[in-house]
Structure 1
């Protein structure tokens, strides 16, 4: 096993800089997930770690060893791609053992490592089948098994579940989490799906435009985001944002109002010194932080345009008087009716400045 360190790494394609001086340390045995919107540089950063993209500036260290200019095969990593990349004419066992065969390892060693990988991934019954005889989830497990037999210091996953249907994605998330617990190997995982990130990661790295916005444990990012981008990206459904103004400072809290949205006044805790009265702010409210209006810290008034009833939970999508949309969660599916205008109570909110930074 091995840790990983990125030291001021940059990547340029011509004059375009797509990775802008990233610094990151991944501890030995940690499961780190890169998330961000399309084009943020997460896959490029992973490929730089793997050696599939040349680093324009900075250093990549694996297990304390500088591998910035080393070939991928010499870095002590194994990579699992979005596409399974299995040889259709080979059996599962042959596909999994092929990297060791190419490395001229003894047959006894190959058979032993393939058997162990098959045990870990529950593939014992499929070792003599061809890829065409497997489901998508089974094929991806074979691809993971091919990585396991190499016993790398670091596993790299590039959106490995994107080609699977929803049910298989859930199953494979569980498999990968269990795999990490059993192997204890350092894993770096790229996904655009923040649900995958929240359920798998020891730490999440949120990227935007080639830069790290915030790094932290999943619940730390959810409960304590540094800016509106992280707050809106982490969480499903996403955080609601309402334009408001600070009207007063009271007991170390900012009192905010948004009259057109039905918010008369609400005291909101801030990270530091509350902003001055008259400061324009953005009020961030997670869907689950709405409560019945009676006795709430503040209220928003909106007209319900759509209701998603998902059994144990319902989501109302409502239009506020200022034209903005909010999503409200309720455990009582009978609370919402399309066309109704009603008050939604606020239990908790975050404050963000005009620059998007948390106040």
Structure 2
């Protein structure tokens, strides 16, 4: 039975894993913040949003295939000391307000999709961002509270309020060089090492406007330039170096297509090089990793994909059974399929003793744009078939 909350109301959560979807007549960006008992984040890593979609026990799901932006909270995976996760919504259009377009939060069982709770805040006016609901711990149990608190200074105002360092301003110019002193300064003890501060969270979406993008694990980039889709066909190149001591490693790159419910639609891999009438085409099997450049490539004609396809997950498996700790310099990169220009690159800097890795994903947004996110998560799977379930869980 669905519980309908009014502002300030609360309800127990019947599931340990819940997905909070937020919808409105206007495009939204939904975020989650992990808070301690003091009501603040521990660090900027506790801010989960479009540029940093994975946090401890909390993940961001971009809008795709009719499904809205959402935050999934796994209460059993939240770190000790986290007492609350607040879910926020901000308007994608910087000049718009929530006046007359109050968003609705739908809290679902993340495993079954069952609707548990809904909440629509009372009429809003000049607010541009909103704390919609909070998932909080009380007496050892987890509950959800309808908040509906508005902010007039956008997502940056919310993030700053909860202790996130936000930097959307350009970096200051470097200081001019200092002239040499006329006398030698007295010798001093070396200063104690200082832990560098966390990189401030950037609330500006990463696009291709400034050219090639290098991603780190969890980073995302929109395949847009100047506010428009940049290209209709991309090539995902995957590469690695063979192991030493004369051992060959047979890695296989694959692309798994999913629908909005995270069900597999098709897989392009060495056993099936072309799917969707050639909309996804695999270059063929490389048995050793020998040779310069990409070892295997998968070309995707985005405009040719069926409407039901909302997500593509690119995976690599060790068919020969060796662990990724035996593999050097594994990477994936996204190229313009027409010109060959490299657009995005993600280098795996660390390896784990597993036989499969989910490299990255491409997700179609509700607006139609595609966003690439670097994943770099290892699993024990030697074939693409065994990667379907873990890959779908990472969409």
TM-score tier by shorter-chain length is under 0.3
Higher share in helix = 1
Higher share in strand = 2
**What is the TM-score normalised by the length of structure 2?**
0.24
Which protein has the larger Cα radius of gyration, Structure 1 or Structure 2? 1
